[in-house]
C-alpha cells in the first residue's frame, strides 16, 4: 500500500480480496489455504493472534502491538468472509451502539 488510507477503506479492500480468494489455489494464496483447512484452523489462528496481541501489549512495544493487532483483524476478517458477514454488518452494529454508554447498556441487560 503506497499511501495511507482510512481504516474503513483498507478493511473493505481486504474483505474484497478475501472474497476473491475463495476460488483461489490454496498453494498460491494464504487465505485460500485457510478456507481449505477449515473453521477449526481459522479459529486456532484467531486464538494464536489474540494471545500474540496480548503479549505485545504486555511488552509495551507499540510497533509490535500494531503488527499483532492487524494479524488478529486479518484472521477475524477471514472468518467473516467464510461466514458471509460483511464489514457493513459491523458498521451497522457499531452505529447501533454509538452514543450509548457501555455502563448504561450493562445496567439494562437482561440476565
Ligand X SMILES: N=c1c2ncn([C@@H]3O[C@H](COP(=O)(O)OP(=O)(O)OP(=O)(O)O)[C@@H](O)[C@H]3O)c2ncn1[C@@H]1O[C@H](COP(=O)(O)O)[C@@H](O)[C@H]1O
As measured in angstroms, the least distance from the Cβ of 62 to ligand X is 18
Please report whether residue 35 would count as binding ligand X according to CB under 6 A: no
From 2-10, 24-32, 87-95, 102-110, span contacting ligand X (CB under 6 A): 24-32
1: helix, coil or strand? coil
Cα gap 93→68, rounded to integer Å = 24
Q: Does 29 bind ligand X (CB under 6 A)?
A: yes
Asked if 30 interacts with ligand X (CB under 6 A), we say yes
**Nearest approach, Cβ of residue 42 and ligand X (Å):** 10
Among 17, 46, 80, 82, contact with ligand X (rule: CB under 6 A): 17
Residues 62-91 that bind ligand X (CB under 6 A): 71, 74
DSSP sequence for 25-83: -TTT-HHHHHHHH-HHHHHHHHHHHHHHHHHHHHHT-HHHHHHHHHHHHHHHHHHHHHH
Crossing angle, helix 39-59 and helix 30-37, to 10 degrees? 120
CA–centroid distance for 14 within its chain: 10
By CB under 6 A, name the binding residues for ligand X. Answer: 14, 17, 21, 29-32, 48, 71, 74
Amino acid at each position: 500500500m503506497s499511501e495511507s488510507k482510512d481504516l474503513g477503506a483498507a478493511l473493505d479492500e481486504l474483505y474484497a480480496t478475501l472474497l476473491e480468494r475463495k476460488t483461489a489455489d490454496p498453494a498460491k494464496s494464504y487465505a485460500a489455504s485457510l478456507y481449505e483447512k477449515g473453521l477449526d484452523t481459522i479459529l486456532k489462528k484467531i486464538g494464536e493472534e489474540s494471545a500474540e496481541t496480548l503479549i505485545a501489549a504486555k511488552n509495551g512495544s507499540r510497533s509490535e502491538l500494531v503488527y499483532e493487532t492487524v494479524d488478529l483483524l486479518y484472521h477475524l476478517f477471514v472468518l467473516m468472509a467464510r461466514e458471509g458477514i460483511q464489514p457493513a454488518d459491523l458498521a451497522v452494529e457499531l452505529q447501533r451502539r454509538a452514543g450509548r454508554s457501555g455502563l448504561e447498556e450493562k445496567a439494562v441487560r437482561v440476565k
